[in-house]
Chains A and B, each alone.
Chain A
Amino acid sequence: MKLNPIFLKDEITSARRLTLPALLTGVNGGLSILILMNLFYIAKSAKATGEIAYAGFLRIYYIAAVAEILLILIITPALTASSISAERERKTLDLLLTTQLDPWDIVVGKLMGTMGTLLLLVVTSIPILATVYIYGGITFVQIAIFFGFLICSALFCASVGIMVSSFISATTAATAVAYVIIFLSYFFMLGGFLFRESLEIQGGRLLAVVLAFMIAISIFMLYLSKRHITPHKRRKLREG
């Protein structure tokens, strides 16, 4: 089976830049420092009190999890907001559209490239988060749910970035709009989780709904991107 040429091309060009290794080092380095600091704090308080606070290990998990989600939210728009607009600025989008590639292939190729980078980040951070698993306090299911949410977040943020990039030609403006959309979406999502009790919705059920919604809206945003880059007939305005 032929791999998506856009994905292949983007992988070649991104492998030549320092962005990916710098990103991996920065993100995993940051997470490691965060966890080591927390372990240091637990060890220090154990020395002082003679008690090991196992709840502290769980705190590491929460801190690392939130940090990783925040990193995804911050990194993804920067990675995707130029995906289509850069092709337009370089005047290569028209060339791609005259080939036998379907506009879907272009959008999916861009998504695959970004998801590849984000999944690499997620996968390489597994050993760091797994340190919590050694001490106990969280179950395998919880880790799986967390990674599920992380992957859905990556898909959602990447889709927002690609959609904005296909609608807005200027990369800087596209990046700014993508950040606004993503942070507003997560603000309302967080609100939903905080007020779930007053809304009388079960946490697990709410999460399932949120994940399903994220996937559905991502597909819809990718469809809008495809539709926008496809040359199309202008609709005639009704006379009168």
Chain B
Amino acid sequence: MITLDNVKKTYGHVNALDGLTMHIEDGAMYGFVGPNGAGKSTAIQMMCGLEFPDEGIVMVDDMEAGSNVRRLKKRIGYVPDDTGSYPNLRIIEYMNFFADCYDGQETKTKRRIQMLLNMVGLQERQNQFMDSLNRGGQQKLSLARALIHDPKILILDEPTEGLDINTRFEFRQIIANLADSGKTIVISSHVLNEISELCTDIGIIDQGKMVMEGKIEDVLDQVNASNPIIISIAGNMSSALQTLRSDKQVRSVSIRNKDLLISYSGTEKDESNLLKKLVEGGVPVRGFHREKGNLESLFLQLTGAREERRVTYYEAESDFSEG
């Protein structure tokens, strides 16, 4: 379990983390999302013990991160955004070198290295020099390296950044398999689809603060609730507009193609009542559903695009009133 409690960190006059609090359960696949400069990498480095907070505390399995406890270091595997390589070393030598950096039996380690290289598809190339690998190969090797001591927690900082679609897919499959084996995985990424497909939990960070955290389904449900209801109508909209104007829970109405988009604050029961009212009022309703939320829209809402969205609404509303 990883916990950050009210963590603050400044670099000169820049607040990298401003009271960040987060909680990662054992066995979770935690997606860590935020715009550039939000403080993701700083938080990740703190979990790995490479940075210390100015205030607050970072705990990994009830041990303070960075406390140099050998037991703690054995539990964490770290894949940085910049993989870091030794061009003059062969792939197998690189793996042997990092295996030597941990306690472990030689024979067991050798078998594990072969297993890991096989897992990332580099077993056939183990005698090649590291500089012969492309970005995808380097990243896969970095993942194999991070798993060499069989850590309980795997921390990946933007691991799929700069990878082509095929390698990204392969990488995602490997991570999904690792999650199935019970490891706690923390993955920071800009690719929100990736996070929503892979992760069980999510934390959205902005300007060094956690703006939303929770199970991914709960977060998406929250997004759904704030999304507009889309009503498709066959024919004239005027009767539908009259009914909608009379409902106090309708906050705004806009028109998109042949659909009405309404901002609605009621419960699910209120929604069904509204539909009933429309149908009973003779409105030819073809469709009635709440727009599905996605992480991208939530991310934009939470990290600064909120104003933009409001403007769109006002514009839509003014179109509607003029019409």
Which residues from chain A sit less than 8 Å from chain B, CB to CB? 2, 5, 8-9, 12-13, 16-17, 90-92, 94-102, 230-234, 236
* Residue B169 lies at the interface, judged by CB distance under 8 Å to chain A: no
- Residue on A nearest B104 in the bound complex, by CB: A100
Q: Report yes or no: A96 in contact with B101, Cβ–Cβ below 8 A.
A: yes
Distance of A89 from chain B, by nearest CB (Å): 10
Chain B: number of interface residues, binned into ranges = 20 to 34
**Which chain B residues border A99 with CB–CB below 8 Å?**
73, 98, 101-102, 149
Q: Report yes or no: A100 in contact with B78, Cβ–Cβ below 8 A.
A: no
Known A-B contacts A12-B89, A13-B86, A91-B83; the reply to A97 vs B101 at CB < 8 A is: no
Q: Report yes or no: B73 in contact with A94, Cβ–Cβ below 8 A.
A: no
**Which chain B residues border A98 with CB–CB below 8 Å?**
48-50, 73, 76, 78
Return the contact of B50 from the options A8, A90, A94 (Cβ within 8 A). Answer: A94
Return the contact of A91 from the options B54, B80, B97, B149 (Cβ within 8 A). Answer: B80
**Which chain A residues border B88 with CB–CB below 8 Å?**
12-13, 16-17
Q: Report yes or no: A91 in contact with B82, Cβ–Cβ below 8 A.
A: yes
**Which chain A residues border B100 with CB–CB below 8 Å?**
2, 5, 8
Distance of B157 from chain A, by nearest CB (Å): 10
Closest CB pairs A-B (n = 9): A99-B101, A91-B84, A5-B100, A92-B84, A13-B88, A233-B52, A91-B82, A98-B78, A9-B97
Known A-B contacts A94-B50, A231-B52; the reply to A9 vs B86 at CB < 8 A is: yes
**A91–B41 alpha-carbon span in the complex (Å):** 14
Give the most central of B45, B101, B102: most A CB within 10 Å. B101
- Residue on B nearest A90 in the bound complex, by CB: B84
**A101–B74 alpha-carbon span in the complex (Å):** 10
For chain B, residues 156 to 210, give those with C-beta under 8 angstroms from any C-beta of chain A.
none
Return the contact of B101 from the options A5, A13, A233 (Cβ within 8 A). Answer: A5
**Which chain A residues border B84 with CB–CB below 8 Å?**
90-92, 94-95
Give the most central of B66, B70, B78, B86: most A CB within 10 Å. B86
Q: Can you list 22 A-B contacts (CB < 8 A)? A: A9-B86, A12-B88, A13-B89, A16-B88, A91-B80, A91-B83, A94-B45, A94-B50, A94-B84, A95-B84, A95-B98, A98-B48, A98-B73, A98-B76, A99-B101, A99-B149, A100-B70, A100-B101, A100-B149, A231-B51, A233-B52, A234-B54
* Residue B103 lies at the interface, judged by CB distance under 8 Å to chain A: yes
Q: Report yes or no: B89 in contact with A9, Cβ–Cβ below 8 A.
A: yes
Return the contact of A5 from the options B51, B70, B97 (Cβ within 8 A). Answer: B97
* Residue B150 lies at the interface, judged by CB distance under 8 Å to chain A: no
Q: Report yes or no: A92 in contact with B85, Cβ–Cβ below 8 A.
A: yes
**Which chain B residues border A5 with CB–CB below 8 Å?**
97, 100-101
**Which chain B residues border A231 with CB–CB below 8 Å?**
49-52, 66
Distance of B68 from chain A, by nearest CB (Å): 8
Distance of A10 from chain B, by nearest CB (Å): 10
- Residue on A nearest B79 in the bound complex, by CB: A95
